[in-house]
Amino acid sequence: METDEINPPHKGLKKGLYLFPTAFTAANILMGFLAVLYSIRGYQSVFTNPEIASTYFNYAGIFIGFAILFDTLDGRVARMTRTATEIGVQLDSLADVLTFGIAPIALIYSWGIGAVFTEQSSAHYLGVFLLFMYLMCGAFRLARFNLQATRPRVLLEGTPKIDKKNFVGLPIPPAAGLMASIVHFAPMPLSSYNGDYPRYYGVLMIILLGILGLLMVSTLRYTSFKTIGTGKTNIYVVLLVVALGMFIWLYSQYALLILSGFYVSHGIIWYVLSFLSPRRKEKPAESQV
């Protein structure tokens, strides 16, 4: 019959839509790849020409920033076009390990730790160890996220529903974004500063690495922003996004550092406020009624 030869409408178009999220993921991987290369190139010029090294480090930080943008878009595009797949989730996590795990530690080592501390010093060993721990904590955070993403399949077996408004633990992209924004704010290698400032700043970066690693494996809640733009469009949300975009475009060094620092710290602030809230103390009494 002729009806058997007719294909479903838009079959080819629907199939082509699956390429859009993958394209953003590929762009994410490309940004991480370039960030690693530019970090290596920058480290080669740290002691001979710090100004050239700062240019490479600045571009590496910018690449990580663009990777965060692409990482955000691939998920939103997949949800908007209803083309989310299991392989897409796994590919996105593998991309994040490179772009937000390996790329930022290559940048921080080249820009700060490796340029300031000698390889035989205890500070260098500690810095390398915390760089590795940051990478492991980020990989663990991604593995936990993938596990939580599969839970809706077993809701009938009693698994609690996933809170889509919040992340459990600090996501690895904002953690990498904070380190990249610091380098973008001050791209000159730490070794180029005078006096004891290089060692002081190097120690602060080592401490920051430890804090970010702990936040990623913690159970603190962080806003996901996944629900923004999914419902009825709010003119105030649009204006806020436009204002933030202009702020980043005009004052990227300050804007990115402020935004990334606020996001990383708001989970801690949120936890402290909820812990001190009187409603938290009233919940046990209400549950017994």
Per-residue pLDDT tens, the chain, 289 aa: give them. 444 444 444 455 455 556 677 888 899 999 999 999 999 999 999 999 999 999 999 999 999 999 999 988 877 776 676 666 677 677 888 899 999 999 999 999 999 999 899 888 999 999 999 999 999 999 998 888 877 766 654 444 444 455 567 788 899 999 999 999 999 999 999 999 988 899 999 999 999 999 999 999 998 988 877 656 555 556 776 777 788 888 888 888 999 999 999 999 988 988 888 877 766 555 444 433 3
Give residue 160's pLDDT: 45
Q: Tell me what pLDDT residue 155 has.
A: 40
- Buried/exposed 13-28: b ≥16 CB within 10 Å, e otherwise: eeeeeeebbbebbebb
Extract the tokens encoding 254.
């300050």
Distance between first and last Cα of the chain: 67
Query: Considering only CA atoms, which of 220, 137, 210, 196 is closest in space to residue 172?
Result: 137
Full DSSP string of the chain: -GGGGPPPTTHHHHHHHTHHHHHHHHHHHHHHHHHHHHHHHHHHTTTT-HHHHHHHHHHHHHHHHHHHHHHHHHHHHHHHHT---HHHHHHHHHHHIIIIIIHHHHHHIIIIIHHHS-TTSHHHHHHHHHHHHHHHHHHHHHHHHHHHHTGGGGGGGTPPPP-TTEEES--HHHHHHHHHHHHHHS-S-GGGS-TTHHHHHHHHHHHHHHHHHHHHHS--EEE--TTTTTSS--HHHHHHHHHHHHHHHHSHHHHHHHHHHHHHHHHHHHHHHHHH-HHHHHHHHHHT-
Handedness of CA 37, 39, 42, 46 (dihedral sign): negative
Please count the residues of the chain.
Answer: 289
Handedness of CA 200, 261, 109, 53 (dihedral sign): negative
